[in-house]
Chains A and B, each alone.
Chain A
Amino acid sequence: MTQQEVILKVENLYKHFPIKKGIIFSKEVGRVHAVDGISFNIYDGETLGLVGESGCGKSTAGRTILQLHRPTSGSVWFQGEDLSKLRGEKLRIQRREMQMIFQDPYASLNPRMTVSQIISEPMEIHNLYAGQAQLRKARVAELLELVGLNPAFASRYPHEFSGGQRQRIGVARALALEPKLIVCDEPISALDVSIQAQVVNLLEDLQEELGLTYLFIAHDLSMVRHISDRVAVMYLGIIVELADRNALYKQPMHPYTKALLSAVPFPDPFVEETRKRIILEGDVPSPVNPPSGCRFRTRCSYAQPICTAEQPEFREVVSGHFVACHFAEQLQNDTPV
């Protein structure tokens, strides 16, 4: 990565979902702290990986950045504007440049629309090629070719395609408006291994060709390492570590990142034979009442009294390497996993 221009800046972003009780006079009885204060930059042309266990807030973060959920508080700066303050037409114009690819290639495509209608829909919404049916058709064909599908398939319906092919259709739709940034929310999790590689290669090729920037959400840490330039690790609504991908995988400084990495199985019996695992006890606590202080303290083997008393700041421990742990410096000197 040569450019270091910030394309998106997330500042203190919160998204809480109220839990309501009662039918007529519904009363808020609690809140899911789905995203609970995250800050980071995404640089032009990079892939930022976002990992963490299910329920930690990855999808909510992606959706709130794109304003598909409006933030509870905080800002999302994109091309000089705070998206969280924009509404209506102004937001719509900015949103053209930011698209999303979803996890489930079965649920995310309307079964009653043809491939051509699915890919044209965003153009219609944004009045592109209005009244120029031929041009729009040509653009659909071009997009299909770009994602490796036969343009002759344009009149078919989603059920006529395999999972990997449907994900390609989702990618074509996301590319229809020539976005700068694409949030990929677990785009390969539902696919078979050999097909996952097809889609990942496609995303890498398109990035090269079109200069795209990705926020790549996944729970597969090996794939995230493969595709990302930098990686952010989420736990219970916050980012606990963010660093260059080599630094993060070689020298993780947060106890959660360490445990997460050590749990990933290697497809290699010789390595597995001698590997030591950090086995995390128990489950992730509820995001309705996250633990005081450090939210990882209930499962952390390094925890001390200060971890209950004070929430560790998300700080830059070495250049470009951010960690939210009181003991990051000590962990830095630990032997790598």
Chain B
Amino acid sequence: MSDLLDVRGLETQFKTREGIVHAVNGISFKVKEGETLGVVGESGCGKTVSMMSLLRLIPSPPGKVAAGEAYFDGKDLLKMDNEQLRHIRGSKISIVFQDPMTSFNPVLTIGKQTAEPFLIHNNVSQEEAKDRAIRYLELVGIPNAAERYNDYPHQFSGGMRQRVMIAMGLICEPRLLIGDEPTTALDVTIQAQIVELVKKLRDDLGMSIIWITHDLGIIAGMVDRVNVMYGGYIIETAPVKGLYSQPQHPYTIGLLGSLPRMDESVDRRLTSIDGLPPTLLEKPHYCPFEPRCVYAVERCRHENPPLMPVDGDEHFSACWVNPRTGKEHK
């Protein structure tokens, strides 16, 4: 598989009253053709900002993409002119956000809004766009799509609106779909409906996906690889099975330990991670997880660890210590 997206050294900052917020600190990652990448981490760790940076959707000021390259299909998104970028956004790369109500225009019908990206990016008639929109609304499981075409967003339930968002994201058959916590606000039964739907569409259409979430449960069954983010860094990246069965970074280990599992037979105390996530007001010269880490050694206080291979050539962790032995890596 070749690389569809290749991000190198992406760095984004915000100027705020308290100082510079270092939201994304030089992250690099790739998404292969047809691959599904999960991005997990707690709120504020830089998941949304990193994706918005790629698509040059960061409000500036206060934000600024300070460094990096982001090759999509071989061309750097960060160096493209606006015309080229507009052509890619919404047609080759589309993004589905968490909150469908604020993403919709309340005074436009569901149908018009679904058809819009297709109309913009293709030289087609209103009729053709409408037919296609109805087809995609059917595809995502909106019952009586043709009749509901003229309904307004408030006439749809939360789960249905999220489906419509996905239809809008798919209507141009993008090569990369980015879902930014698209099911976070939904009930677990609706979440399951949507995850099944996205998996099926991915297999039918053969697109690549980046699925952002703070829920380690939801991505376990749908992604190929996982990036774990903390404080603006990717601190661990691995194939999904390796990450869950052999987590290497103390933060990932802590996160997995703090989740209760329905198939656990004995009662155990949840492992909590003490302390709080970093404020991002400085770019640390130490390990960003060190203040909360139970494995920390002297070196962690002085040197910020880069991602290093830990287990074969696909599993990387940014930690000076081997948490299985408690000793520093050689």
Contact = CB atoms under 8 A, between A and B. Distances in A.
Contacts of B189: 53, 259-260, 263, 279-280
B160 A264 contact: no
28 contacts: A192-B214, A192-B277, A193-B42, A193-B255, A193-B258, A193-B259, A195-B272, A197-B257, A197-B272, A198-B274, A201-B270, A225-B260, A226-B270, A259-B189, A260-B189, A265-B192, A265-B215, A265-B217, A265-B218, A265-B220, A267-B259, A268-B261, A269-B240, A271-B263, A272-B222, A273-B221, A279-B189, A280-B189
Contacts of B187: 53-54, 219
B260 A226 contact: yes
A260 B215 CA distance: 17
A138 interface: no
Contacts of A193: 42, 214-216, 255, 258-259
Contact of A269 (B157, B241, B255, B259): B241
A333 interface: no
Nearest to B274: A198
A194 B255 contact: yes
Given A260-B188, A260-B189, A267-B259, A272 B220 contact: yes
B42 A200 contact: no
A263 B258 contact: no
A222 B259 contact: yes
Interface string A243-261: 0000001000000000111
B87 to A, nearest CB: 36
Interface in A200-241: 200-201, 204, 219, 221-223, 225-226
Given A194-B254, A269-B241, 13 more contacts: A162-B276, A164-B276, A193-B258, A193-B259, A196-B258, A197-B270, A200-B270, A249-B262, A265-B192, A267-B259, A272-B221, A275-B221, A279-B192
A25 interface: no
Which of A200, A249, A269, A280 has the most chain B CB atoms closer than 10 A to its own CB? A269
Contacts of A265: 191-192, 195, 215, 217-218, 220-221
B71 interface: no
Q: Which of A195, A226, A259, A268 has the most CB of B within 10 A?
A: A268
Interface in B192-221: 192-193, 195-196, 214-218, 220-221
Interface string B215-257: 1111011100000000000000000110011000000001111
Contacts of A268: 220, 244, 261, 263
A267 B256 contact: yes
B259 A279 contact: no
A89 interface: no
Interface in B32-69: 42-43
Contacts of B42: 192-194
Contact of A270 (B215, B245, B257): B245
Tell which of A193, A262, A264 has the most Cβ of chain B within 10 Å: A193
A253 to B, nearest CB: 17
Given A260-B188, A267-B220, A279-B193, A225 B214 contact: no
Contacts of A95: none
A219 B261 CA distance: 15
B155 interface: no
A267 B244 contact: yes
A267 B217 contact: yes
Interface in B148-168: 157, 159-160
Nearest to B259: A267
Most buried by B among A219, A266, A270: A266
Nearest to B191: A263
A283 B160 contact: yes
Contacts of A260: 188-189
Given A192-B43, A267-B261, A269-B244, A221 B188 contact: yes
Interface in A272-292: 272-273, 275, 277, 279-280, 282-283
A230 to B, nearest CB: 14
A237 to B, nearest CB: 16
B273 interface: yes
A10 B217 CA distance: 35
B262 A222 contact: yes
Nearest to A198: B272
Nearest to B271: A197
B269 interface: yes
A164 B274 CA distance: 11
